[in-house]
Structure 1
Amino acid sequence: MAEAVTSVLVKLADILREKVGEVQAVRGQIEQVQKELRLIQALLRDVDSKCHRNNVVTEWLNQVSEIANRIATVIDTFRDKIEENRAESSNWVRKITKAVKRNYKKYKLGLHDELENIIEELNRLYQRRTDLRIEDLGAIDDVDDPEACDDVDDPEVVGLEDDQAKIIEQLKDRSISRRMVLSIVGTGGLGKTTLAQKVYNSDKLEGQFDCHAWLSISQTYNLNELLKEILYKVKPDMKKKVPPVTDRDLPVKLKKYFLKGKRYLIILDDVWDINLWGQLKKALPDMYNASRVIITTRSLDVAKVADCNTKPYKLRYLSDNEGLALLFINAFQQQVQPEKYPAHLLDVAKRLTKRCGGLPLALIVLGGILTRRERTYPDWNTLYETIDWHDKDGIQCSQILASSYEDLPRYLKDCFLYFSAFPEDYKISGVHITRMWMAEGFVPKDGAGTIEYRAEKCLEELVQRCLIQVTKKSWNGYCKYCSIHDLLRDLAICKAKDENFLTVFSKEDDVNNLAASESCRAALQFCTPTEDGIYSENTNSLLCFGFGQFSSDNSGFGLLNYSGSGLLQVLTLERVDMTTFTRRHWSKGLIHLRYLGLRDCFVPHDIFKQFSFPNLETIDLYGSEVDNEEERLNLCDVVIPTLRHVYANSYSEIHLPLEWDKHTNLQTIMDVAIYIKSVVELGFCINLRKFGIIIVDKLDNGRAIKEWQNLKSVLKNTVQLVYLSITTKGFLPFGGTKELPCHEKIQKLNLDGKWERNICVPSVEMFPTNLTKLQLIRSGLQEDPMPILERLQSLRILHLNDGSYVGTVLICSTGGFPNLEKLKLYDLDNLHHWDIKEGAMPILRHLEIHCCFLLHVLPELQKVQTLQELTVVGPSRELWEGMQMQGKDVHKIKHIPSVRISKGYVPQGEDFR
C-alpha cells in the first residue's frame, strides 16, 4: 500500500513539473491532492500494525487503495491529453496555449471537478483516522524530489526573512563607499551562519560584487591558511602555481594584485578572536568601491573592534509563533500550516516551544527528538516534564541537547560521540566515518543488508534526529559530507570525556598526557608533540588532524613514539611524512587494525612490508604520494583476506599488486593504478560494488580494443557493480556494458581516456540502462554527443570534462535529458556555440561552465525555467560583458536565483585588467 501511494505522489510531482497551460489551469487542485495524499501517507505505518486485527481499518486501507488507483488513472489520462496536444503541431506551445483559452470552462467543469471530488474523498478518509485510532507517524518517503540532487537544499528557515532583507539592503547601499564590516551577533544556535548563507547565496546580490569568499574561522585558525583561501577563491589558478606563493608574500599580493580595484564580499563565519580582523584587514584593500565584509560572532567585542562605525546586527530570538512553526516542521519533517496543527498536541507544543526560549537550534533538536515519539499528548508531555527546564544562562539548550543524546540507543550514542574526534568545521566524509564505525564494532550485527548498509542507516538516523547535518549528497543520494553544529560538538566532546569514550587533545593541551589518558581512543588536533615523543599502552583508536603539509621530525607527528600501537583498531593520519613515522618505535604487528587512513601523506613504498595488517578492512590513501616513484607502493606477496575497501587517488599513481585471488571480500577498489597485464587477476574480486582503476600502460587504439575483452571477463563476475571508473593515458579500453550482467545495476560511470577511432559518438546501448551519473574526460569526441547522451532516461548528472568533446557546436533537443538535474562543461576548448531547444532538460537545476574560452554567447537558458544555480568560470571577454548589467545575455539568466561568474583562469592573449 505504501508503495502505491508513493508511486502516485511521484506522478503528481512529475506532472507539476510540466510548464504547459493545461497544468497551470488545474495546478491548485493537483497541489491540494498532493497535500491530502501526503497526510494519508503519514498514517500508513500505523495502519500496517493494526490492519491484521481490525476489519474496519482493513476496509479503510482498501478505500485508500481505490482512490490511489483512481488518481493514477486521472493523471495518466491527463498526461495523454497533453501529449496529444503536443503532437498536433510542431508549434505545440502556441496551440496548447490557445486550447487552454478556448477550453478553459471544459477544464474547470471536467478535470477540475474530478480533482475536487478526489480532494473531498481524501479529506474524508483522513478525518476518519480519529475514529479508527490511527496515529500520524510521519511520511514514509520524501517524494517531492524522488531523485535527490548532489547538493543539499538550504535548511528550513523560520523568522530570518526580514533579517536577510535588511542585511542585503545594507550591503547594496552605495552611499557608504568605504569598506564596511557588518557583524551578525548572537548566541550559539541562534542561526547566524544560516542567515549569512542565505545572504551570501541570494540572487538579490547578483552582479553586485566582482568576487566572493566564504571562510569558516572557528576558535583555532591559521592566518596564512585563511589568506590562501581568499586567494584561491579570487584566483583559482594560483593553486597550481609553481613555485607556490609564499606565506610572506600573501598579504601584499592579495592587496596589491588580486583584490586591487575589485568590489569584494567576504564572509568570516564564527569569529572568536578579537585580534583576527586586525591581522586580516592588512591584506584587504579599501578602495572606496563599497566592498563588504560580514562577520558572524558570539562576541559583541569582536563586532565593535571590526567596525566601530557600523552597528552590529544583533540576531533576535524567535517569537512564540515562529518557534512553534519551527518545532512542528522538525517534528513532522514537513511544512505544517498553523490551521493544520494537531489540536491534541497544540497545548504541549506551545509549552515546549516556550521553554526553548526562541533558540532555533534547541527547537530543531527538540523536534528531532519528537520524531521518535508517538504523536500523542502523554508522550510529548512526558518529554516536557522530564527535561530540567529551570537552569539559566543557556543551560536550557544544553538540557535539550543532552536529552537528544540520552534518547539514542547505545550503538547510536557511540556513533554520535565519534564526531567529537574531528576538528571544528572539519569536512567529514560520510563514507569514511561509517567505515570507522565498522572497524570499532559500533554497527549492529543484526539487521538487513551488508554491514556497510547498516552503517549508512546509522548515519541516516543521526541526520533524521537533527544531530548531524548533511552538507553534500553523493550521486546516489547518500551523505557525501556532513557536519556537526558547534554546540552539539561541545556536547559530544563533554560526553565522550565523561564516559572515557574518547579524549580530545587540541592546540592548548599537552599531548604527552596521552599516556595518562583513561579513554581507549584519542584525537590529536593541531598538536605539537615534544622531542620526547608520546608513549601509550591502552589506546586502540588514534585520529590525528592538522599537522600541516608533510610534517617532518621537527614539526609534529614525526616525533610520535607510539609503542602501544599493537592494540590499535583505527589509525588515521593527515599530512604526515610517513618516512619518519616508520623509524619510530611502532609495533610491527598491527593485528587488531581494521581501518588505516593515510590522507595527503608521504608514504614509503615498503610500508606494507614493514608492518603486518592481518585484519585490515579499509585502506584510505586518498591524496597521498609514494616516496620512491620507481618502486611505487610495494605490496608484493601481501595478503589481507579481510580487506573490503581500498581508496587511492586519481592524480598520484598508487599501485597495489595484491594477490587478488585471495581478496574475494573486496567491495571497493577506488582509483588504484594497475598494469594491464594484471587486470585479469581482478576477476576473483566477485563482490565488487565500486571499481575504479588507473591503467598505467599507454594503450594504442588496437590494443585498447583487445584489452576491453580482458576487462569484460573481469566485469562478468562483478554482478553487484554500481560504480565503474576507467582511466588510461592512451586509448580507452571500453566497448559498452550491454553484454555484462551488471548492465542494469551500474549507476555511475567515469571514463577518462580517448575513445577508439571507430567511435565518433558512442551509442546509447554502450551505456548502462539505469545510469545516473556520467563523467567523460579526454574522450576526444569529434561529433556532438548530445543527441546520444540526451536519450539516457535515468541520467541526472553529466560532466563533460577536459577535451571530452573537441567539436564546435552542442545541440540539446526538445525532450532530451528528461531527468538531468546537473550539467557541467569543463575545458571544452573548441566549443563556440550551444543551442538549447524548447523543452530540453526540463528539470535542470544546476549548470556549470568552466573555461570554455570560445563560447561568446550563452545558450537560451530562459527556456530552462527550472534552473536554480548557474556558475561560469573563465568566460571569454564577450561572455563576461554579456552577463553584466545591461548585457546581451542578462535576459537569459534573470530567472535564475543564484548566478556566479568568475574570471578564474585567463586564457592566453586575454587580459581582463
Structure 2
Amino acid sequence: MTEIIVLFVIKKIGIAVAGETLKLAKPLLANKAEFKKAELVTALPVNMKLIKDELEVINAFLKELGMNGCKGEVVETWVRQVRRLAHDMEDVVDEFMYVIGKNKERESRAYVKKIIKKPKPLFSLDEIATKADRINRQLMELSKRLGRWTQPILSGSSIPATNYDTEQQLYLPGHDYSITDAELVGIDKNRQTLIESLCLEDCSLRIIAVWGMGGLGKSTLVNNVDKNEATVSNFNCRAWLSISQSCRVHDIWRNMLKELCGKESREFDAENMSSTELKVELTKILDQKRYLIILDDVWLATDFLKIREVLVDNGLGSRVIITTRIEEVASIAEDGCKISLEPLDNHDAWLLFCRKAFPKTEDHICPQELQQCGMDIIEKCDGLPFALVAIGSLLSFKSKNNKDWRLFYNQLISEIHNNENLNRVEKILNLSYKHPPNHLKYCFLYCAMFPEDYLIHRKRLIRLWISEGFIEQKGACSLEDVAEGYLAELVQRSMLQVVARNSFDRVQCLRMHDIVRELAISQSKKESFCTIYDDTHGVAQVGLDSRRVSVLRCNNDIRSSIDPSRLHTFIAFDTTMTLSSWSSFIFSESKYLNVLDLSGLPIETIPYSVGELFNLRFLCLNDTNVKEFPKSVMKLRNLQTLSLERTQLLNFPRGFSNLKKLRHLLVWKLVDATYKSLNNWESMEPFEGLWDLKELRYLNEVRATKAFVAKLGNLSQLRSLCITYVRSSHCVQLCNSLSKMQHLTRLNIRASNEDELLLLDDFTLSNPLEKLELLTVNPVARLAEFSDLTELRLTRVYTGPWLYFRANWFPNLNKAVLWDLQQVKQIFIQEGALANLHYLHIDSLMELHDIPVGIEFLGSVKEAYFTRMHSDFVRNLRTGKISHIPKVHWSIQGVSADLTELANLPGASNRTNTNPEWRILGGSGWVFI
C-alpha cells in the first residue's frame, strides 16, 4: 500500500511546482539577500522536481513488487524507509505552500493595513530548502541501496512470490472443507432458494448469484447444493471453476473444457489450444447439453462477460451460479435469482461454534464455566461462519477450562495473525482489501479508526475523507459526490456493512465487521497509516511513526506514546479525557494537523495557538462547552469543515469570512430537549461576509437577517441550507435568493414564531429538491410542484381544517412527517397520490379523530407512526383500512382509560408495560409491546 502515499505525494509536488505556484513563488525565491542558504533556496523547485521524478520511478517499482507478491524482511525494510521519506516530503510540500500563501497575503494592501508588526512565520524557505535537499540525497541513497540489497533477492529464488492464485488454492471447495454437511447451520432458507432457482421450469439460461462478504459461506452453500444428486442429476454436465482476482479468460476456458469433458479431454490438447479454438470447442459442447457451470469468487463483472461468450443459451434450462463479494457482479443475475448472504444470528452462531468446539460432546453442549467466554468469542466473530468454524475447531483441541479459553480470547486477534490454523481467516478476509483500486484503500482503512461496533455516519465520514485529501475532483462532480461514490463502492464490495439508509436510499450509517476492523487496524499500523490508542488494560502500544491517532480510551498522558510533530489527524472518542493529557502538545507541536475532532470533550476554551495549525481542514467541537473562538482562528485559511453542533458558540470573530475554503459550516445549540417549542434550537448569527464564502456546500443553521437574506443568493454552491427565525418581511427576498441556487437539494425553513405567516408563493428552484422541511408555511398544493422530493416534513405549517393530497402529487416521496398541525380535522388522499411513500408519521394532530380518507391507497407504505393522537383516532385504526401496512406504531396523547378498551380489540395480545404510551400494531393483527 506504500505506493498510495508515494502517489499522493507525487501529486502534491506536481501542484507545488506547477507554473501558477512557481509564478507566485518567483519573487520570493529571487530575493537571495534574505536567505542564509541562498543556493539551496534557489534550487528548491529543481530539487522538488527531482524528488518527484525519483518517486515516480519508485512508485512503478512498488507496483511491480505488489504484482509479483515478493516478501521478505529486506524488501519490507526498504519499503518502510520509502514510506517515511514520502511522509517527510509531504510535510515539506505543505510548508512550501504555506510560505507561498503567506507571502501572497503580505503583498496585498489589505494585509499591510491590518498588520502593523510583521508576524514571525512558522517556516522559512531556508528550512524548507534544507529539508528538501536532505530528502533528495536520502532518496538517491535508497535507490543505491535497492541495487545493493534488494535486487539480488528479487532476482533470486530465496523469497517465493505469493499471489492470489497460489494462496487461493488452499481454500477452494473440495480441497479443504473443515465443515461437514451435517454441521451446516442457518443456511436452510438460502439453500432452498438456490435449489428452486436451479429447478425452475424456465428453459432459458439463468444466471444465479450468491453474494456477500468474505467468510459468510458462499462457496460452502453452493458446494452443498452441488453435491445434492437429486438436484443436479438433471444436468448433463457440470463444472466448478475458481476465478482469481487476476482472471485470465483463456485459463478459465481451458479448465472448463477439462472439467466438462473429464476423461474425454484426452482427445483435446487443451493446453496448446488458442482462445479461439477453446471458444469454438466449448460452444459446440455446451450447445447440445443442459449444463451447470459454477464460477466461484468472481471479482469483476467484465470478467464474467468475457467468460460468458461460451455460455450459450440453448433453451435446455442450463444454469450458471456465480459466487461473489461484489454487488455489481451479483447484479448480473435477475432479482429473483440473487441470494444475499448475511452473518448468522446469535442463536445459529452459537450452534455452529459449539458443534466445532465440542464435536465429541453429546449434543455439543458447552460447559457452564465456558459459556461466557464462548459468547464473547461469538460476539467477536460477529456471525461470520468461516471465523466461527476456524476458531471453534482450534478450541476443540484445547483444554476445557476457563483460564485457557480466556487467555485465548484475550489474544484472539494475535492468534488470527500468527496461528497457522487461523491465519487463513486473515488471508480470506484480506483478499477484499488487496483487490480494490488504490483510491479506496485509504478510505477503507480510515473506517478502522472508529470504535468497535460504532455507527459511522455517512456525512461525517465523507467530510473526513475530503479533509484528508483522499478524494479527487472528477469533472463537474463535487468532492462530496465523488466521496459518496467511493462509499457506495466499499459497500458494494462487502467491505462495509450498511446499518440504515435514508429516504433517498443513500447510506445513512454503517459499520465495520469486528474481525475485519481488527485486520484493518493491523494493516494500518504496519503501513504507519494510523494507530488506535487504548490504554484500558495498561500501557497502549502506539507507533511513533503514525500520522493519525484515534483515542478510544485514555487514562494516562498520551504524549509519551506518539510523536506530535508527525501527527496529521487526532480524533478523540474518550469523552472523559483530561485536558492535560492532550492539550499540551496538540496546539503547540502538531503543526501539520489536517483533522482535529474533539467531540464531547469537557473543554470550554480553545487556545490562541490553534491559529498555528496552518494545515487544518477539519475542526469538530460538537457537544463541547466552547463558548467563543480566539481571533487567531481567522488564520485557518485551509479549513473546509467546521462543526459546532450542540455547543455554546453561536457568534464568530470579525474576519471569519477570510476562511474562503469552508465547505461545511454546521452550527446550532439545542435549547429545548422536549421539542415542544417551534425553535428548539438556537442558530448562528450570520457574520459579516458569510455570503462571500463561495465554496460553502452545507450551511446549518443560520438566523435570517435582512442583510443575509438579500445576499444569500451569492452562495450558489449550497447543497443544504437550514435558515431559521424567518419573518414575513424576508419572504420576497428569500424567494429571490433561493431561485439563484442551482445545486440546492435540501432546504429547511423555520419561522421566527408560531404566529408568523410566511408567504413563499414566488418560491422556485432550478434544481429539483430532494428534502424539504417547513415550519409555519401554508404548504401542500404549492409544494406538490416539487415532483422530485423524497422527504417532506411539515411542522405547524397549516391552520386550515382539511389537508388534501391529490392524484399524482409527490410521486417520488419516500418519507412524510406531519407534526402538530393543530387545526386539521381531516386528511384526504386520492388514489395515485404519494405513490412511492414508504414511511408515514403523523404526530400531535389532536383534532384529527378519523384516519386519513384514502389511506388504503398508500400501498407502498412499509411503516407508519401515529403518535400522541386522540383516542378516537387510535380506536378507528381497527377499521381494517391499514391492514396492508406491515408495521404501525401508535400512541395516545396523555394517559387514557381508552387503553383498556383498545387492549381488548379482536386479535390483541397485551402485557403490562411500565411505559404504556408506545404501542406497535402489526399488519396481520394487533401486537402490544
Q: TM-score, length-normalised on structure 1?
A: 0.54
User: Would the aligned equivalents of 2:621 and 2:643 in 1 still touch at CA under 8 Å?
Assistant: yes
Task: Give yes or no for the alignment of 1:818 onto 2:818.
Answer: no
2:660 to 641, 647, 655: 641
SS at the partner of 1:646? strand
Task: Give yes or no for the alignment of 1:673 onto 2:703.
Answer: yes
| In structure 2, distance between residues paired with 1:673 and 1:154 | 50
| In structure 1, distance between residues paired with 2:620 and 2:835 | 40
| CA deviation string 1:141-191 (max 9, x = no partner) | 89969xxxxxxx998448769x58xxxxxxxxxxxxxxxxxx96876999x
Taking the TM superposition and a 5 Å limit, the aligned residue runs for 1:38-77 are: 39=207
| In structure 1, distance between residues paired with 2:724 and 2:452 | 35
1:763 alignment partner in structure 2: 781
Task: Give yes or no for the alignment of 1:868 onto 2:891.
Answer: no
- Give the aligned residue type for 2:627: P
| In structure 2, distance between residues paired with 1:529 and 1:302 | 33
Counterparts in 2 of 1:872 and 1:790: CA distance versus 1, 3 Å: farther
| In structure 2, distance between residues paired with 1:481 and 1:136 | 18
1:205 alignment partner in structure 2: none
- Give the aligned residue type for 2:565: E
Task: Give yes or no for the alignment of 1:521 onto 2:545.
Answer: no
Task: Give yes or no for the alignment of 1:714 onto 2:732.
Answer: no
2:614 alignment partner in structure 1: 591
Task: Give yes or no for the alignment of 1:684 onto 2:714.
Answer: yes
1:793 alignment partner in structure 2: 811
| CA deviation string 1:430-452 (max 9, x = no partner) | 11112211111222445672222
TM-superposed CA distance for 1:858, in Å, is 4.4
TM-superposed CA distance for 1:527, in Å, is 1.4
TM-superposed CA distance for 1:302, in Å, is 7.3
- Give the aligned residue type for 1:688: L
Task: Give yes or no for the alignment of 1:413 onto 2:436.
Answer: no
Task: Give yes or no for the alignment of 1:466 onto 2:485.
Answer: no
Mind listing any 5+ residue stretches in structure 1 that lack a counterpart?
1-27, 43-48, 58-120, 146-152, 165-182, 191-297, 306-310, 327-352, 361-387, 903-913
| In structure 2, distance between residues paired with 1:878 and 1:639 | 61
SS at the partner of 1:454? helix
Counterparts in 2 of 1:137 and 1:581: CA distance versus 1, 3 Å: closer
Taking the TM superposition and a 5 Å limit, the aligned residue runs for 1:478-517 are: 478-508=506-536, 517=544
- Give the aligned residue type for 2:536: E
Counterparts in 2 of 1:659 and 1:651: CA distance versus 1, 3 Å: same
User: Would the aligned equivalents of 1:503 and 1:517 in 2 still touch at CA under 8 Å?
Assistant: no
| CA deviation string 1:876-907 (max 9, x = no partner) | 636644554655778998753798766xxxxx
TM-superposed CA distance for 1:860, in Å, is 5.0
User: Would the aligned equivalents of 1:846 and 1:869 in 2 still touch at CA under 8 Å?
Assistant: yes
Taking the TM superposition and a 5 Å limit, the aligned residue runs for 1:367-386 are: none
Counterparts in 2 of 1:34 and 1:427: CA distance versus 1, 3 Å: farther
| In structure 2, distance between residues paired with 1:763 and 1:38 | 47
2:79 alignment partner in structure 1: none
Q: TM-score, length-normalised on structure 2?
A: 0.53
Select the structure that is richer in helix: 2
1:150 alignment partner in structure 2: none
| In structure 1, distance between residues paired with 2:701 and 2:470 | 28
| In structure 1, distance between residues paired with 2:207 and 2:797 | 49
1:620 to 635, 639, 643: 643
2:505 alignment partner in structure 1: 477
- Give the aligned residue type for 2:553: F
User: Would the aligned equivalents of 2:834 and 2:858 in 1 still touch at CA under 8 Å?
Assistant: yes
Q: Percent identity?
A: 20
| In structure 2, distance between residues paired with 1:594 and 1:722 | 24
TM-superposed CA distance for 1:827, in Å, is 2.5
2:564 to 526, 530, 536: 536
2:863 alignment partner in structure 1: 846
| In structure 2, distance between residues paired with 1:780 and 1:136 | 45
User: Would the aligned equivalents of 1:668 and 1:688 in 2 still touch at CA under 8 Å?
Assistant: yes
| In structure 2, distance between residues paired with 1:313 and 1:566 | 41
- Give the aligned residue type for 1:433: L
2:429 to 401, 405, 423: 401
SS at the partner of 1:638? helix
- Give the aligned residue type for 2:796: R
2:450 alignment partner in structure 1: 422
Counterparts in 2 of 1:154 and 1:126: CA distance versus 1, 3 Å: closer
TM-superposed CA distance for 1:662, in Å, is 2.7
User: Would the aligned equivalents of 1:565 and 1:587 in 2 still touch at CA under 8 Å?
Assistant: no
| In structure 1, distance between residues paired with 2:637 and 2:468 | 16
1:438 alignment partner in structure 2: 466
| In structure 2, distance between residues paired with 1:856 and 1:157 | 37
| In structure 1, distance between residues paired with 2:884 and 2:379 | 34
| In structure 2, distance between residues paired with 1:128 and 1:570 | 51
Q: 874-883 or 863-872, which moves further after superposition?
A: 874-883
| In structure 2, distance between residues paired with 1:138 and 1:467 | 15
| In structure 1, distance between residues paired with 2:868 and 2:821 | 13
1:723 alignment partner in structure 2: 746
Mind listing any 5+ residue stretches in structure 2 that lack a counterpart?
1-195, 211-248, 250-275, 280-311, 357-365, 393-415, 669-679, 911-918
User: Would the aligned equivalents of 1:566 and 1:587 in 2 still touch at CA under 8 Å?
Assistant: no
| CA deviation string 1:93-133 (max 9, x = no partner) | xxxxxxxxxxxxxxxxxxxxxxxxxxxx9984996999xxx
| CA deviation string 1:188-220 (max 9, x = no partner) | 999xxxxxxxxxxxxxxxxxxxxxxxxxxxxxx
Counterparts in 2 of 1:880 and 1:122: CA distance versus 1, 3 Å: farther
RCO comparison, higher one (Cα < 8 Å, 6+): 1
| In structure 1, distance between residues paired with 2:881 and 2:468 | 52
TM-superposed CA distance for 1:466, in Å, is 1.3
TM-superposed CA distance for 1:418, in Å, is 0.7
Counterparts in 2 of 1:812 and 1:490: CA distance versus 1, 3 Å: same
1:748 alignment partner in structure 2: 771
TM-superposed CA distance for 1:425, in Å, is 2.0
| CA deviation string 1:473-503 (max 9, x = no partner) | 1232211111111111111111111111101
User: Would the aligned equivalents of 1:770 and 1:794 in 2 still touch at CA under 8 Å?
Assistant: yes
| In structure 1, distance between residues paired with 2:852 and 2:822 | 15
2:625 to 593, 599, 602: 602
RMSD: 5.0
1:694 alignment partner in structure 2: 724
- Give the aligned residue type for 1:826: D
Task: Give yes or no for the alignment of 1:782 onto 2:805.
Answer: no
User: Would the aligned equivalents of 2:627 and 2:647 in 1 still touch at CA under 8 Å?
Assistant: no
User: Would the aligned equivalents of 2:587 and 2:613 in 1 still touch at CA under 8 Å?
Assistant: no
- Give the aligned residue type for 1:872: W
Counterparts in 2 of 1:814 and 1:724: CA distance versus 1, 3 Å: same
Aligned residues between the structures: 574
| In structure 1, distance between residues paired with 2:898 and 2:568 | 57
Task: Give yes or no for the alignment of 1:574 onto 2:599.
Answer: yes
TM-superposed CA distance for 1:359, in Å, is 9.1
- Give the aligned residue type for 2:612: G
| In structure 2, distance between residues paired with 1:737 and 1:313 | 60
User: Would the aligned equivalents of 1:762 and 1:788 in 2 still touch at CA under 8 Å?
Assistant: no
| In structure 2, distance between residues paired with 1:590 and 1:874 | 53
User: Would the aligned equivalents of 2:908 and 2:928 in 1 still touch at CA under 8 Å?
Assistant: no
- Give the aligned residue type for 1:536: P
Largest Rg, 1 or 2: 2
User: Would the aligned equivalents of 1:614 and 1:642 in 2 still touch at CA under 8 Å?
Assistant: yes
Counterparts in 2 of 1:37 and 1:707: CA distance versus 1, 3 Å: farther
SS at the partner of 2:635? coil
| In structure 2, distance between residues paired with 1:538 and 1:794 | 49
1:171 alignment partner in structure 2: none
Task: Give yes or no for the alignment of 1:138 onto 2:156.
Answer: no
- Give the aligned residue type for 1:645: H
User: Would the aligned equivalents of 1:609 and 1:634 in 2 still touch at CA under 8 Å?
Assistant: no
Q: 484-493 or 869-878, which moves further after superposition?
A: 869-878
